[in-house]
């Protein structure tokens, strides 16, 4: 039977004559941090102080023990090496590697001694490749397009430039005899209610003549098969198999599959995975609105409630199974049902996809290409195909994985960013996205759809980012426009859009120790990586709010409110236009360090107000007021499995708290549908002193007294800076596990910043608007010494213009 032994102890990191203990898996930066040899690059402006690390050569050294197990072959297996390295054993060259996204295996039978993995600088490797292939344009100056490495190691408009090297995934010895399982490619389908698993098996042998057998088990069934040469296939059928569904649509039924390779009745190797039976399609058919982009799972057409995922740490070896689950649990709790693994990062670890399988989160997986023209010559072309083949097969068992995507923004970049002229006919990646990658997916994983890129209209006959066709990235709004412009069009699928805000206050205090915080203080500017990011923040803020002058706390609150408002403007509008628009994928869920960014969860894992707003925006039932056709409509968006007859109470009110007019409309929404009702003209608010309130029960059985029974939508006809808000008056009292607030006036956008109470404190809700006399209870976790005065000081809301 194959025996595996981890090699995670006894490693030394060496540069020239300097040596220190190393942790494997890990990277040079984390080892240097552990040794106190560099300052924490996440704090202050230390990032620049450690730039030298990425430009040096580093060696990892260990001792490979002599093997006396009696097996015929011993392999040294690296699951991930970052990135360009040579591996030597007792001075003997085992191999040279240049791809972070692949694993490597070396026959070391009978060998032992000093094991050395010498990493050259990623910069040096990139420059060497650039010298062979020629210059290629990119959105950023660093040379990330010339090697197969996590692109955002070189910095991004939300990330630091910390160019890593190291043994970033596990390394082990595998000892085996006769044969081992080299690869299993599971094709999992559903045929007329029967779950079908076809296991396509490849084996490696030490003895060609040995007769090998396969046995597979799933769902109580057992099937045998034979191996011919190096290949074999086993097919299992599970009648009446329970289906795997995305969250909100059904259960996440998972089945254990076990495949045993044997010789003469004795097991040689075992492969085990969990699978889920489900069918997935991507409907890109033409219709009266253009070309659709709708995911269909088990015959159910979905509006995808998505988020973009970046590596959760710029040092990905630090992301544990528990951290993956915590972050993805946060996504699921916010109503998310799709996570896009963005192309400037990595193929994530098994822990990521396993958590998505269990939580019912659909995964859209980019191949790692982003915002650059990529050479198609060697040595890159062979690396691209090899990594794609390995990772497609590696991730195939996961039912959560529903879409392969060729790249991020490169087709768009070729057309709009001046690349075509600069390239002058040189290769730039099109052959990957429209050739190599779809061929690999079609050959190895025909059970899942592939799309060439995001954005992509489906054809060069149309603009790549045409909102009427395929996927669309909406960035003109953040870069140049007011977020109200989101409401000017209805893309078929919004794969990226977003708005910036700073991280939580406690995150800033930890990341910028001792700094007097100001929007343009040195540390704040260093932790703002977007081009003119603060300028865009300010311009977006001043379209809606009065300038907060030099009051940092007020600026911090208002920018977070503006982020939530901007995202709400887009999602409410686009969801109300389902099925024309079939999904929104927020940029972005998470951060990889403490930074001002588009994230809903900051680099320390704290939830911004946007996160809590997502819980409302991505709920099964959403009530929204929209300006359409010269008037107002109320839209009842129902993504639930049952019908929703929304009896909507409408109140036209003054900001002083008076009810000017009152009425009701009914919007009857079928399951997974939207119903729209027009607001009577006499209830439409006029001028700066009026607004409209729409309230509806989530269901006839919902109990308002227990909380969460009523959905509310608000409509103010003018920006906040024009609204004569009253001086907010409210009462605060401590209640078990939280804070209760009772409004005496209109209190808009009330926010309890729980991390100001204690760094680890967390509020159970975000922004809430209260009418006079209304009361809200805000749960607080992690606050060990409750204090009413501290609670009041941590509460923020809209105030009269000063």
Give the pLDDT of residue 701. 58
User: What average pLDDT is seen over the chain?
Assistant: 96
pLDDT band at 706 (very low <50, low <70, confident <90, very high): very low
DSSP output for 660-703: EEEEEEEEEEPTTEEEEEEPPGGGS--STTEEEEEEEESSTT--
- Whole-angstrom Cα distance, residue 778 to residue 288? 46
Residue 554 pLDDT > 50: yes
- Whole-angstrom Cα distance, residue 487 to residue 712? 20
CB 485 within 8 A of CB 18: no
Tokens of 321: 């199974």
Q: What is the pTM of this model?
A: 0.96
- Whole-angstrom Cα distance, residue 101 to residue 81? 8
Q: Choosing from 409, 496, 572, 690, which is the catalytic residue? A: 409
Put the strands of the sheet holding 762-763 in their side by side order.
Answer: 730-735, 738-743, 775-781, 762-763
DSSP output for 185-234: EEEEEEETTEEEEEEEEEEEES-TT---EEEEEETTEEEEEEEETTEEEE
For the beta carbon of residue 442, count every other beta carbon within 10 angstroms: 10
Going 403 to 404 to 408 to 409, the CA torsion angle's sign is negative
Average pLDDT, stretch 249-256?
A: 98
Average pLDDT, stretch 341-356?
A: 98
C-alpha pair distances (Å), 627 with each of 85, 290, 521, 569, 612: 59, 23, 40, 11, 24
- Whole-angstrom Cα distance, residue 143 to residue 135? 10
Residue 68 pLDDT > 90: no
| H helix count then E strand count, the chain | 16, 44
CB 172 within 8 A of CB 6: yes
Give 681's contacts (C-beta < 8 A, 6+ positions apart). 631
CB 341 within 8 A of CB 364: yes
Q: What are phi and psi of 633, to 5 degrees?
A: -130, 155
CB 660 within 8 A of CB 652: yes
E strands, 441-523, in order: 450-451, 471-473, 493-496
CB 55 within 8 A of CB 123: yes
For the beta carbon of residue 418, count every other beta carbon within 10 angstroms: 11
**What percentage of the chain exceeds 70 in pLDDT?**
99
Q: How many CA atoms lie within 13 A of 730 on its CB side?
A: 32
Tokens of 428: 């730039």
Give 192's contacts (C-beta < 8 A, 6+ positions apart). none
pLDDT tens digits, residue range 294-319? 999 999 999 999 999 999 999 999 99
Average pLDDT, stretch 488-499?
A: 98
Widest CA span in the chain: 90
Give the pLDDT of residue 802. 65
What structural domains and CATH numbers belong to the chain?
A: 3-174 (2.60.120.260), 178-275 (2.60.40.10), 281-617 (3.20.20.80), 621-720 (2.60.40.10), 730-796 (no CATH)
Mapping DSSP to helix (H, G, I), strand (E, B) and coil, where does residue 647 land?
Answer: strand
b/e map of 67-95 (b: 16 or more CB within 10 Å)? beeebebbbbbbbbbbbbbbbbbeeeebe
* Residue 258 bears catalytic tag: no
Tokens of 157: 């408009």
pLDDT tens digits, residue range 515-536? 999 999 999 999 999 999 999 9
- Whole-angstrom Cα distance, residue 646 to residue 633? 13
- Whole-angstrom Cα distance, residue 222 to residue 547? 70
Which long-range contacts does 742-747 make (Cβ < 8 Å, 24+ apart)? 742/773, 742/774, 742/775, 743/770, 743/771, 743/772, 743/773, 743/774, 743/775, 744/772, 744/773, 745/657, 745/772, 746/655, 746/656, 746/657, 746/770, 746/771, 746/772, 747/797, 747/798
pLDDT tens digits, residue range 470-493? 999 999 999 999 999 999 999 999
b/e map of 325-350 (b: 16 or more CB within 10 Å)? bebbebbbebbbbbbbbbbbbbbbbe
Give the pLDDT of residue 703. 45
For the beta carbon of residue 272, count every other beta carbon within 10 angstroms: 12
Residue 360 pLDDT > 60: yes
In the DSSP assignment, the letter for residue 166 is: B
- Whole-angstrom Cα distance, residue 584 to residue 490? 11
Residue 344 pLDDT > 80: yes
pLDDT tens digits, residue range 660-689? 999 999 999 999 999 999 999 999 999 999
Residue 225 pLDDT > 90: yes
Residue of 397, 712, 402 whose CA lies nearest to 583? 402
- Whole-angstrom Cα distance, residue 106 to residue 540? 55
Give the pLDDT of residue 708. 56
DSSP output for 44-102: TTGGGGGGGGGGS-EEEEEEEPPP-S--SEEEEEES--BSEEEEEETTEEEEEEEBTT-
For the beta carbon of residue 630, count every other beta carbon within 10 angstroms: 6
pLDDT tens digits, residue range 765-796? 999 999 999 999 999 999 999 999 999 999 99
Mapping DSSP to helix (H, G, I), strand (E, B) and coil, where does residue 540 land?
Answer: helix
Give 296's contacts (C-beta < 8 A, 6+ positions apart). 280, 281, 282, 283, 302
pLDDT band at 66 (very low <50, low <70, confident <90, very high): confident
């Amino acid at each position: 039977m194959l025996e595996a032994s981890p090699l995670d102890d006894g490693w030394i990191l060496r540069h020239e004559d300097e040596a220190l203990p190393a942790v494997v898996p890990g990277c040079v930066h984390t080892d240097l941090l552990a040794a106190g040899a560099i300052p924490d690059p996440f704090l202050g402006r230390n990032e620049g102080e450690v730039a030298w690390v990425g430009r040096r050569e580093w060696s990892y050294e260990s001792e490979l023990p002599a093997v006396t197990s009696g097996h015929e072959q011993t392999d040294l297996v690296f699951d991930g090496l970052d990135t360009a390295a040579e591996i030597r054993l007792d001075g003997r060259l085992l191999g040279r590697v240049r791809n972070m996204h692949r694993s490597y295996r070396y026959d070391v039978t009978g060998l032992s001694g000093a094991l050395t993995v010498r990493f050259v600088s990623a910069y040096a490797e990139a420059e060497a490749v650039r010298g062979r292939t020629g210059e290629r344009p990119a959105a950023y100056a660093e040379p990330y397009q010339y090697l197969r490495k996590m692109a955002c190691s070189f910095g991004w408009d939300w990330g630091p430039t910390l160019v890593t090297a190291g043994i970033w995934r596990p390394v082990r010895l595998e000892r085996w005899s006769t044969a081992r399982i080299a690869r299993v490619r599971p094709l999992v389908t559903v045929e007329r209610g029967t779950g079908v698993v076809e296991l396509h098996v490849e084996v490696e042998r030490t003895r060609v003549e040995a007769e090998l057998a396969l046995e597979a088990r799933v769902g109580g069934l057992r099937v045998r098969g034979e191996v011919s040469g190096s290949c074999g296939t086993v097919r299992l059928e599970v009648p009446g198999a329970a289906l795997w569904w995305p969250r909100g649509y059904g259960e996440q039924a998972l089945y254990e599959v076990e495949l045993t390779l044997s010789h003469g009745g004795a097991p040689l190797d075992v492969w085990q995975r969990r699978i889920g039976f489900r069918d997935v399609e991507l409907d890109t058919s033409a219709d009266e609105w253009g070309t659709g982009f709708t995911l269909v799972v088990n015959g159910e057409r979905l509006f995808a409630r998505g988020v973009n995922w970046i590596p959760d740490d710029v040092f990905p070896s630090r992301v544990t199974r528990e951290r993956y689950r915590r972050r993805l649990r946060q996504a699921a709790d916010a109503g998310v049902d799709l996570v896009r693994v963005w192309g400037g990062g990595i193929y994530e670890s098994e822990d990521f996809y396993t958590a998505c399988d269990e939580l019912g989160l659909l995964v859209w997986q980019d191949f790692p290409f982003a915002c650059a023209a990529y050479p198609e010559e060697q040595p890159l072309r062979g690396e691209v195909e090899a990594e794609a083949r390995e990772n497609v097969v590696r991730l195939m068992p996961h039912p959560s994985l529903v879409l392969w995507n060729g790249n991020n923004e490169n087709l768009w970049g070729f057309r709009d960013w001046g690349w075509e002229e600069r390239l002058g006919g040189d290769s730039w990646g099109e052959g990957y996205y429209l050739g190599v990658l779809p061929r690999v997916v079609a050959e190895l994983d025909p059970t899942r759809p592939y799309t060439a890129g995001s954005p992509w209209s489906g054809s060069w006959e149309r603009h790549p980012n045409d909102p009427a066709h395929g996927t669309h990235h909406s960035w003109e709004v953040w870069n140049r426009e007011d977020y109200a412009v989101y409401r000017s069009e209805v893309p078929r699928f919004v794969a990226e859009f977003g708005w910036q805000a700073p991280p939580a206050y406690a995150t800033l205090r930890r990341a910028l120790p001792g700094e007097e915080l100001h929007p343009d203080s040195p540390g704040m500017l260093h932790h703002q990586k977007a081009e003119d990011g603060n300028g865009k923040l300010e311009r977006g803020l001043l379209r809606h709010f009065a300038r907060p002058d030099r009051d940092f706390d007020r600026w911090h609150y208002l920018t977070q409110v503006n982020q939530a408002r901007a995202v709400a403007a887009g999602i409410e509008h686009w969801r109300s236009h389902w099925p024309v628009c079939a999904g929104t994928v927020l940029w972005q869920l998470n951060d990889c360090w403490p930074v001002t960014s588009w994230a809903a969860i900051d680099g320390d894992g704290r939830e911004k107000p946007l996160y809590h707003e997502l819980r409302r925006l991505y709920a099964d039932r959403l009530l929204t007021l929209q300006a359409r056709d010269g008037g107002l409509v109320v839209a009842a968006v129902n993504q639930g499995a049952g019908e929703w007859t929304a009896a909507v109470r409408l109140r036209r009110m003054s900001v002083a708290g008076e009810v000017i007019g009152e009425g009701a409309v009914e919007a009857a929404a079928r399951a997974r549908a939207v119903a729209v009702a027009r607001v009577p003209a006499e209830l439409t608010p006029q001028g700066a002193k009026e607004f409209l309130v729409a309230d509806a029960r989530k269901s006839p059985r919902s109990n308002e007294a227990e909380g969460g029974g009523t959905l509310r939508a608000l409509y103010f006809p003018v920006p906040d800076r024009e609204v004569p808000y009253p001086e907010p008056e409210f009462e605060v009292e401590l209640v078990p596990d939280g804070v209760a607030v009772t409004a005496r006036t209109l209190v808009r956008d009330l926010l309890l910043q729980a991390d100001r109470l204690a760094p680890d404190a967390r509020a159970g809700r975000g922004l809430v608007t209260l009418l006079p006399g209304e009361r809200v209870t805000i749960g607080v976790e992690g606050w060990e010494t409750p204090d009413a005065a501290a609670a009041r000081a941590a509460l923020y809301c809209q105030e009269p213009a000063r």
